[in-house]
Structure 1
Amino acid sequence: MNDHLDIANLPSLAEAGFSGGRDNFREFCRTIFRINEPRFLRNDQNQLVVFRHEDLQAFGTAPQIGNLPIGKLYPARFASDGSPARGPGSGVADVISSQVFTFNPPLHGPARQILIDWLGPKQIAALEKVGRQAAHAVLDRIQHSSPLDFVSAIAERLTISFWSSLLHLTDSETETIGACTREMTRLFRLGRNADDLQALDLAFAEYARILDDVATRRLAAKDPDLTAIAEKLAALRSDDDPFAVGVAPKSVGQLLAGNLVDGFHTTALATANTFCVLARDPNAMTQVRNSPQLAAKAIAEALRIEPPIILLKRYALEDFTYRGKTIPAGSIVTMLWAAGNYDPSVFPDPERFDINRLHAGLTTFGKGIHICPGRHLGVMLIRVLLDVFLEKDIEVELSGDRVTWIPRHMVNQLSAMPAIVKRRTG
């Protein structure tokens, strides 16, 4: 007979040395992977934490483990009958409720496919031209050899410029969405306070308003991509169930707002992380300059070392029996995705940059049917920026040890990356 996993009596993340954020993440991995036990951990809410590579793979691909529904993610947003309720955080929930990361079957598959048909791997070649133009525009406006913050001056500007061009944002909309995106960083804080929620509600409401205006304007102009999205949304059939299946977006603007949070925010931090790794390793950029065909491997390895996401939460749709223990339906599961990339049983000497490392099994973007649908676009933007750096023969030089990371965070985000971008002299 299978026993229920006794989650409440597992060692805690805090006891294992992890309090969130990148700063103590590596030490946590060094400690936890020295021994074979414990198999699992718990967080301060007595929710299961999965961190070993083998287990992340198993949970990530199990059909019993789905996304955390919006009604569970923001329980105060919906009454017990599923009707909307207002309160702190409701503005955020309004937007996130249209995100595929909160959908489960039967809504998840068809809604996810709408995004893939727009931003998936088959569309990358057409989107690359927009990305390359954005990269040139960003680098053409910087002053070479002058100190700058790579995060705000290059990584954030690249993503904002790309989406501005793709969605035909006005200059005012571009500026406002950039400010909203910076406020979104509060969303990933562990232990958000009332000030955070108030600021987030305001930022998300303004962000959603702009994308709704943009969608209305572009549909009136018969934009082919958004018209196709509108037709597929109209054919989407799902009864709203915020506590299990999800809430289907009712307009193109809602779908854009919900699913471009990562496009605006997380893509920028992934770009900064990649260049931080390459700038810190004395041989990394040299290898890419000498062999540009290694760029894809360099990006994969950089994002293994500094992945954009540290942890995300999943949800047991059904009882899930694993290694002789049952995780009950309704359990919230914290997936410590970043730790999978540091499991030395799969990636030996995990803190070392190795451009020739085999990257099968990376957990950078999750696993299974819920893997990040925008990962191909995000990597493309990083790659074209790297290409333009090589074409212009410029390099990034970090300003000493002043690179800092945001503490107690769900994402692996730089707070500042002081650097000098300059043309090479030899």
Structure 2
Amino acid sequence: MPEIIKISDLPLLSEAGFAGGRDNFHAFCKAIFSDRQPRYFRTKADALVVFNHADLMAFGTAPQIGNVPPGILFPGTMDAPPDAEAAPGKRIAEVLSAQVFTTNPPIHGASRRILLNWIGPKQVTGMEGIVRDLVDNILDAMDNGTEVDFVPSVSEALTIGFWSKLLDLTADEIARITQATREMNRLFIIDRTEEDLRALDRAFDDYAKVLDDAAKRGLENGNADLLEIQRQLQELNFEEDINSVGVYPRTVSEVLSGNLIDGFHTAALASANTCYTLSRHPHVLDEVRGSSQLLAKAISESLRLEPPVLLLRRYVLEDFEYDGMIVPRGTQVVMMWAAGNLDPKAFPEPYEFDLHRRHQGMTVFGNGIHICPGRYVGIMLTRILLEGLEARNMRLRPGQSAAEWIPGYFMSQLRSLPIAIERRAEE
């Protein structure tokens, strides 16, 4: 008979050496995949921590495992009386409540379709021309061999430029949203303070105001994509619950502000982390030249080794019976997606860069019905950037100073990435 798992009896994740951020992550994974380690861990708040690839695949595809709804993610903020003083995190909760990652069926599928009808694989292919122009402008402005901080100079510039073009942001709006998204990095701190929450509320508020203005202006000017989102929103009609299925967006601006957090942030991480990896394996870009198939494999292998997301939380919607145990309804589950990519049972010699590795089952973007819908944008931006480097016969070389990763995050995020972009010697 299966038994209810006793999460409080599991060892703490911190006892295995995980403190957040990328710096100690590889050493941590080598430790947890040794034969001496337990199958699961727990957090200080008694969330179940899943890290084995097979378990991640099972939990990620189980219908009983959903997203953390907004009322659980930010308890006490969304159901407070209207005249109550705003609790720290209230503005964050309001914006995130429209995000697809805080909804569950039936709301989740409908919200997800709206996004994919805008930034799905076919639609993103049609946006490549915008990105090629941006890449041309960024690379043409660089002096050969000059060292730059790749994070703001290339990754952020490309990602913010892409969304700014799609939404026709003004110069002032671009400056505001750049500052807001940088301040919103506090969202990814594992142990946030009240000061962090207050700062996040201010950043989220200005970020949402920029996108609200952009949405209204776009609708007035006949932006076809935004008009289509508005049309689809009018068809939504669900019973909502902030503690289970979540809530659904009513306006185009809510769709944008709720879901473009990852668009502005994680898409930039994808290109930065890929180029960090490739700059340390210079032979790879030489090997993939002229082959779109090999270039795609190089991006996948780079992201397997250096994925933007280390972990995300999920929520048990109904009792989940799995492999002789029962995970009770209401349990929060930490899905260590990045660890799944370093599980030697799924990816032999996981720390080796293997351009010809099979990437089936890779957990960079999660899996199941909750897999990241914005992955097509992140990969497309990265691919066209690398194609731009190839077209100019350029390569990436690590800078004189070391790359700096941000500690204490549940993201693998570079604070700075010194890289020299230089032309290859003529053959």
TM-score range with shorter-chain normalisation? over 0.9
Shift of 1:400: 4.0
The one-letter amino acid of 1:158's match is L
**Residues 78, 94 of structure 2: 8 Å contact kept:** no
Shift of 1:37: 4.3
**Residues 401, 418 of structure 2: 8 Å contact kept:** no
- Which residue of structure 2 aligns with residue 278 of structure 1? 278
The one-letter amino acid of 1:147's match is E
SS in 2 for 1:342: coil
Identical counterparts, % of pairs: 48
The one-letter amino acid of 1:123's match is Q
The one-letter amino acid of 2:20's match is G
Correspondence list, 1:97-176, <5 A: 97-176=97-176
Shift of 1:143: 3.0
Q: Any idea what the Cα deviations from partners look like across 1:97-141, whole Å, max 9, x if unmatched?
A: 110000001100011000000000121221111121221122222
Unpaired runs of 5+ in structure 1?
none
- Which residue of structure 2 aligns with residue 238 of structure 1? 238
- Which residue of structure 2 aligns with residue 183 of structure 1? 183
State how far apart, in whole Å, the 2-side matches of 1:83 and 1:389 are: 55
| Alpha-carbon spacing, 1:99–1:83, altered in 2? closer, same or farther (3 Å) | farther
- Runs of 4+ aligned structure 1 residues displaced above 3 Å come to 80-85, 290-293
* TM-score of the superposed pair, with normalisation by structure 2: 0.97
**Residues 271, 382 of structure 1: 8 Å contact kept:** yes
The one-letter amino acid of 1:368's match is G
Q: Any idea what the Cα deviations from partners look like across 1:290-341, whole Å, max 9, x if unmatched?
A: 6453110000000000001000000000000111100000000000000000
Correspondence list, 1:310-325, <5 A: 310-325=310-325
**Residues 22, 405 of structure 1: 8 Å contact kept:** yes
- Which residue of structure 1 aligns with residue 334 of structure 2? 334
State how far apart, in whole Å, the 2-side matches of 1:84 and 1:128 are: 47
**Residues 77, 85 of structure 1: 8 Å contact kept:** no
The one-letter amino acid of 1:190's match is I
Cα-Cα RMSD: 1.6
- Which residue of structure 1 aligns with residue 66 of structure 2? 66
State how far apart, in whole Å, the 1-side matches of 2:329 and 2:424 are: 57
The one-letter amino acid of 2:97's match is S
- Which residue of structure 2 aligns with residue 297 of structure 1? 297
SS in 2 for 1:283: helix
- Which residue of structure 1 aligns with residue 348 of structure 2? 348
Unpaired runs of 5+ in structure 2?
none
State how far apart, in whole Å, the 2-side matches of 1:418 and 1:217 are: 38
State how far apart, in whole Å, the 2-side matches of 1:184 and 1:79 are: 23
**Residues 31, 37 of structure 2: 8 Å contact kept:** no
Correspondence list, 1:251-290, <5 A: 251-289=251-289
| Alpha-carbon spacing, 1:163–1:80, altered in 2? closer, same or farther (3 Å) | closer
**Residues 78, 84 of structure 1: 8 Å contact kept:** no
SS in 2 for 1:163: helix
The one-letter amino acid of 1:91's match is R
State how far apart, in whole Å, the 1-side matches of 2:20 and 2:207 are: 27
**Residues 50, 333 of structure 1: 8 Å contact kept:** yes
User: Do structure 1's residue 410 and structure 2's residue 410 form an aligned pair?
Assistant: yes
Shift of 1:182: 1.0
Which is worse superposed, 208-217 or 142-151?
Answer: 142-151
Which is worse superposed, 138-147 or 347-356?
Answer: 138-147
The one-letter amino acid of 2:8's match is A
Which is worse superposed, 222-231 or 282-291?
Answer: 282-291
State how far apart, in whole Å, the 1-side matches of 2:215 and 2:83 are: 26
Shift of 1:147: 2.1
SS in 1 for 2:299: helix
Q: Any idea what the Cα deviations from partners look like across 1:160-206, whole Å, max 9, x if unmatched?
A: 11111111111111111111111121110111123322221111111
The one-letter amino acid of 2:162's match is F
The one-letter amino acid of 1:187's match is L
**Residues 297, 356 of structure 2: 8 Å contact kept:** yes
Which is worse superposed, 384-393 or 28-37?
Answer: 28-37
Q: Any idea what the Cα deviations from partners look like across 1:322-364, whole Å, max 9, x if unmatched?
A: 1110000000000000000000001011111111000000000
Count residues with an aligned counterpart: 426
The one-letter amino acid of 1:111's match is S
**Residues 135, 158 of structure 1: 8 Å contact kept:** yes
SS in 1 for 2:76: helix
- Which residue of structure 2 aligns with residue 200 of structure 1? 200
The one-letter amino acid of 2:157's match is R
Shift of 1:369: 0.2
